């Protein structure tokens, strides 16, 4: 059975995400200690919440988590969870994981936040062999800006801003949208990603 741990930093959209990925072949737990969460086969960093709060909840263990992910620990980051893969954020002080060099900036568009359905434009669908989605539900005011575009698998455009919506480094996948809120296609997508990551254990 695949052990999955959702890191609870106090504000994540945990209930719906847990429900989306729970199956008979998976044991999905919620853990507020990032060190214990790392013991699972797959680490999940959920969406919803503030960057500073989530960074503080790691209690200075960013180096430990970054090393584990760089060494191949499977991880899925959703929305804010994807942003935590980067160095820092304009939203608030605090250190991200720095797995992907770069920062998180506020959307520079007339309408903020970006809420609703939008297209996911794949640049490298081969980066996720069994998973794909063309339209997803977004709820974000901040977007990621990697120093190097090579981790980017897909893009999304909101008004005048084009930003990464799917990234991958080693066995870590980040998505800026909410697959758990993206209808049947989103549920299929997130479960295919989990299945692929489970094979990387």
Catalytic residues, by residue number, are: 79, 178, 180
- Residue 172: CB atoms within 10 A of its CB come to 27
Give the CA dihedral 140, 10, 88, 111, nearest 10 degrees: 20
**Quick check: 144 and 176 in contact, CB under 8 A?**
yes
Question: In terms of Cα–Cα distance, which of 156, 115, 122 is closest to 137?
Answer: 115
Question: In terms of Cα–Cα distance, which of 23, 32, 30, 34 is closest to 1?
Answer: 23
Q: Which helix (H) or strand (E) holds 11?
A: none
Cα–Cα distances in angstroms (integers) from residue 56 to residues 51, 127, 133, 153, 164, in the given order: 9, 31, 32, 29, 25
Query: Cis omega before residue 90 (within 30°)?
Result: no
Structure tokens at 56: 């503080």
């Amino acid at each position: 059975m695949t052990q999955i741990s959702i890191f609870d930093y106090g504000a994540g959209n945990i209930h719906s995400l847990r429900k989306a990925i729970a199956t008979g072949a998976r044991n999905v737990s919620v853990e507020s200690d990032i060190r214990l969460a790392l013991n699972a086969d797959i680490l999940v960093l959920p969406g919803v919440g503030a960057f500073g709060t989530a960074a503080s909840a790691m209690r200075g263990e960013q180096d430990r988590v970054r090393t584990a992910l760089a060494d191949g620990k499977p991880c899925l980051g959703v929305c804010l969870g994807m942003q935590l893969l980067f160095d820092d954020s304009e939203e608030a002080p605090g250190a991200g994981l720095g797995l992907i060099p770069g920062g998180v900036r506020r959307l520079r568009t007339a309408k903020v936040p970006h809420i609703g359905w939008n297209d996911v434009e794949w640049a490298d669908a081969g980066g996720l062999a069994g998973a794909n989605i063309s339209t997803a539900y977004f709820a974000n005011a901040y977007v990621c800006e990697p120093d190097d575009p090579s981790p980017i698998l897909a893009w999304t455009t909101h008004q005048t801003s084009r930003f990464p919506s799917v990234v991958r480094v080693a066995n870590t996948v980040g998505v800026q949208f909410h697959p758990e809120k993206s209808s049947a296609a989103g549920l299929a997508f997130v479960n295919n990603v989990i299945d692929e990551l489970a094979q990387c254990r």
